Structures are given as C-alpha cells and as structure tokens.
Amino acid sequence: MERFKDKNILVTGSTSGIGQACAERFAKEGANIILNGRHFADDEKQLIKTIEAYGNKVKFVQGDVSKGMDSVGILQQAIDAFGSLDILVNNAGVERNANFWEVTEEDYDLVMHTNLKGVFFGTQTFVKYCRKENRPGVVINMSSVHEEIIFPHFSAYCASKGGLKMLMRNLATELAPLNIRINNVAPGAIATPINQKMMADKDKMKGLLENIPMKRMGTPEEVAGLVAFLASDDASYVTGSTYFIDGGLTYHYEEQ
C-alpha cells in the first residue's frame, strides 16, 4: 500500500515511541519523512538509516518544539527539506507527575509549552504556508485520553491535552474553507519510554490493566495505524474529531 507516495510528512518528537512508529509507518507507505528531535546523536543517525531503508527521502530537523520560535523554525525547515509539506503530525509531548500544590512554574511551562504552545505555533506556521501556496493540508495532534478523563497528579498535562481538544475543534471550523483537515488522536496506555517507570512497577501495572477492558497496553504501531488512516485520503471527510485508541479505557463501565 502506497497511500503516501510523494507526500512529505513532518512528525515532531519522532525519535522514540509513538512518533517513531508513525514515521516508520508513513515511510512504509511511501512518504518522505522529516524527523524531529531535540538532539542529534548515534540513535538518531541509526533511525535515519532505518527509515531510509524503506526507499524514500529522510531529513532530520533538530529543534525544541517547546520554544515558540523553534517550532516556527522546525516547520520552516520541514517545508524547505523537500520543497513542500503535506502532513503535520504534532506528536512531541511530555508529562510531569506532582501534587497540584507542588507543581513548579518550570514544570508547568515545560508541559504547556511542549504540548500546547509548540502545537499552536507550529500549526500556525504550516497553515500560513498552505494559505500562501494555496495547498491542502492535514494536521494530526497526538492528544491523550486525558483530554477527556481525569489524571490526578498530572494537572498541567491534563490542562495541555484539554487545551489541545478545543484548539483542534476550533481550527477544524476555521481551516475547513482552506481545505485543511485537523483531528486529534487520543491514546490510552501505550508501551513507550514515557511509561517506562510505570511499566517497571508490578503493582501499578496491575491497577492499570484492571481498568482497561482489553487488559493490555497498546503498542506504538497500533497508534501509528490510526494516525496513518486519519492522514490518508481514506479520511478525506474527517475533521474536527478526537479518535480514542485505548482498549476501551475511556468509557468503560465496571460490571459488579
């Protein structure tokens, strides 16, 4: 299947976890990939080789999406990389665990700036480009089930993903006349480095799995499959919605 042949796609935060799986899935389906991460070292060089093996073009754009102007620069470099940009996946994200009354301004800023501000100004740069060139576009935000359900002790994270829900809904209406589609993907518990600590804690894992009707974590590849669908022309009439991928977690009901 070559749904993305000749398409140029930027995935932010694509050096691990869900972002990396999305980059690989798009490459497998024929796309040229613009990778992004804050650092460029041996792991990133290896990742470039892995993606190149699918036979398409790859470029790594180094940059920190949490810095407003960096996210603009990342988008500009991504557009320049292969001369055009078709699809933006706003994937980079961080979380910090603390009681609400102990959250520092530094951690609040890190989470909000990475998960929301970076998406805001990165997407704005992409939209300005699409308008100027009169091109269609697709945007996918990696949100979370926590744009909808609570996550005690992760207040900044929930605020950022809740903000992402309304940003996406607002933009869907504003950007539809420009032929730009935008949707959120909301994963539940996915086995990636962000969950490393929890996955090493047997008791926490037991509690988590009890809450998931499918009784397992998801894989980054499963999330990438949904992202690929939403980015493709198979989803040409889809905009303004959140797609949960959570093994049933969000709306489950405990049978007594």
Residues 22-51 that bind ligand NAI (CB under 6 A): 36-38
18 binds ligand NAI (CB under 6 A): yes
User: Between 127 and 190, whose beta carbon lies closer to ligand NAI?
Assistant: 190
Closer to ligand NAI by Cβ: residue 30 or 222: 222
Does residue 231 touch ligand NAI according to CB under 6 A?
no
When asked if residue 207 is in the footprint of ligand NAI (CB under 6 A), the reply is no
- The stretch among 61-69, 201-209, 224-232, 247-255 that binds ligand NAI (CB under 6 A) is 61-69
Question: Contact 142/167 with Cβ under 8 angstroms?
Answer: no
157 part of the active site: yes
Single residue of 56, 89, 93, 155 touching ligand NAI by CB under 6 A: 93
Q: Which of 54, 108, 129, 157 is catalytic?
A: 157
Which residues in 148-187 contact ligand NAI (CB under 6 A)? 187
3-state secondary structure the chain: CCCCCCCEEEECCCCCHHHHHHHHHHHHCCCEEEEEECCCCHHHHHHHHHHHCCCCCEEEEECCCCCHHHHHHHHHHHHHHHCCCCEEEECCCCCCCCCHHHCCHHHHHHHHHHHHHHHHHHHHHHHHHHHHHCCCEEEEEECCHHHCCCCCCCHHHHHHHHHHHHHHHHHHHHHHHHCEEEEEEEECCECCHHHHHHHCCHHHHHHHHHCCCCCCCECHHHHHHHHHHHHCHHHCCCCCCEEEECCCCCCCCCCC
Amino acid 231 reads: A
Least separation in angstroms between residue 46's CB and ligand NAI is 14
Which one, 8 or 36, has the nearer CB to ligand NAI? 36
Smallest separation (angstroms) from ligand NAI to the CB of 148? 11
Q: How far is the CB of 28 from ligand NAI (least distance, A)?
A: 18
**Residues in touch with ligand NAI (CB under 6 A):** 12-13, 15-19, 36-38, 64-66, 91-94, 114, 142, 144, 187, 189-190, 192-195
Residues annotated as catalytic (active site), given as ranges: 157
